[in-house]
A and B are shown apart, each in its own frame.
Chain A
Amino acid sequence: MMLHRDKVIESFHQLGFSPRVGEFEDRILIQKCVLLLQLRGLGTAYPYRLHIRGPYCVELNREAFAHRDEFEAPASRGALDEKERAIVAAFGETFELRPNQLEVAATYAYFVSCDGLDPVEAHRRTRKLKSFVPAAQQALGISRAKRFLYPPTEEETREMKDEFALWQSASLRSGRDHE
């Protein structure tokens, strides 16, 4: 089975991420970046499973060590098409390369996209499995995962606008009263 290592390496090149494969922290980043990119549609096929650490791909870890030089000095390889380059760009705009944020985002995304859980249950399980991450960082990770992978539809956006319109106009009125 082709896992498409070239796509991963070129994505890292585009993100300006040169992981030190020997470092535990950078291996977390490799794992979580690839899962999030893959779920968004990067044409890779790494088989992730839920482990004690959250979603994790043994094969990806093996590849990172087996092709350490390629991972540590990622270069452009012409492996990504235009759509995939846009996915990587969106990833770069959404996330910072910080382990806690990406761990939470990837865990939430795994529960929703791979286990098919509803957002409330996925949120609950993510908070439990990543309980060592401060609450503010948990909220940030989940909100960025939603922005990157599950943006609201036009209809949902319209419904939200309608729902919040009253609050918004009340707030504007209140602001004017205090001027």
Chain B
Amino acid sequence: MILALESSCDETAVAAFDPRHGVAGEWIHSQMALHERHGGVVPDLATREHLRHFGPLIERARTEVEFGLVAEVAVTHGPGLAACLAIGVAAGKSLGLALHVPVTGVNHLRAHAWSPFIGVHAEAPGQFEGRLDTLLPHLGLIVSGGNTLLFILDAGRRITTLAGTRDDAAGEALDKGAKLLGLGYPGGPLIEQLALNGRADAFDFPRGIGRRDELDFSFSGLKTSLRYLLEKMPMEQIQARLADLCASYQQAVVDALARKAGLALERGEGGFRSLGLSGGVANNRVLRMSLDRLAREQGVAFLPAAPRHTGDNAGMIAFSAWADRDNPAKEQGMGLRINPGLTLA
């Protein structure tokens, strides 16, 4: 069994994963309510909260799973907020020392990359390796507040980055759009909720696609165009058309993501067998539906991460410590260091 810790940003999380059975338990403390009051994650508060909550969460885990079965401790060592990562790595090393088991550093982004496969594993743990082979090569899209990445997980289980964002991440575009619209934090879910009552074609925002034949994303032009539009609209009009603004803005983000993912699938010339969606923004229903449709059109399996594995969570850390055990850049041992700027591959 692998025991995993995650503390890269504002969730303190612990999980246990047994390759023979699946995720054995997940314990999480979200600081969302705390940071909501501040309009975003406050790094020093987040650090103190991790320090406060890891102990009690690990104690709870100990009452629910047999720590004697733990063969490895996995901990997120990047990317993320430096001091938050440091608390997790220190806690992970302590656990490793106490349980006399090795400690492995997990790349948070690679854990997102692997997270759509947690559900595949859960369906039939004993047949996972064979089923995984039928789903590779895999095109993955990670969409979160800090990242927008298209990557390939090839038949040899190697991860290669295909494209990223040139400026803002998709989640960031939603958060900053929400800020311009005078909404609160977290902006993405608020926009999604308001968009339910709006028309997605009411306003024509740029799709941030840059050159048609390029895979990289760009969202800063979208943010700027919303800013220009709002400057020209009287306050009453903005209020009256808030739902339409949210729906149209969200659609522009979703379209940009779906178009680039579609382009990558087409370039794969039928080579891809599955399309994954993960990261915090993967919970957005319009995005899920859009990619589901795309996958069907292209004849590939659609693998969205389960909602509880989209945001920051330790389940995906534990799972990827196992599934991604051949990561060539893997770091292990008591010398494990934090790396706030770690990249996918």
A binds B: no
